[in-house]
Amino acid sequence: MSKNFEYVELRDNCASGKYNSEMLLKACKGFEFIEQWILLSVTKNLSYDRLEYTELGRIPVSRTSFYRYRKAFYSNLDALLKENGNETIQIQS
């Protein structure tokens, strides 16, 4: 599977609610100070500019840094899923 396809699949699965909040929080390990913005970005498919106008307020990092953290989020999520045997983790009601 190509890296671009993996990214698109992870992005779409995050936006559709396929992963539970615990898994998404684990993928933010190392940059918890910005996790609220990252999670809002990946679950609602919002760009840096759109996030600036949410109830969370200003993002505490530059645009470049934000996208670097978001890329790290997807990398961490991919690693977590591979640890779990690539099983899809469903949101529990």
Whole-number pLDDT of residue 55? 87
Whole-number pLDDT of residue 75? 94
Q: Answer whether 32's CB lies under 8 Å from 85's CB.
A: no
Consecutive sets of 10 residues in the chain, 93 residues long: mean pLDDT of each?
A: 74 94 95 96 94 88 97 94 68 37
| Cα–Cα–Cα angle for 24, 36, 3, rounded to 5 degrees | 45
Q: Whole-model pTM?
A: 0.85
Tokens standing for residue 13: 């699965």
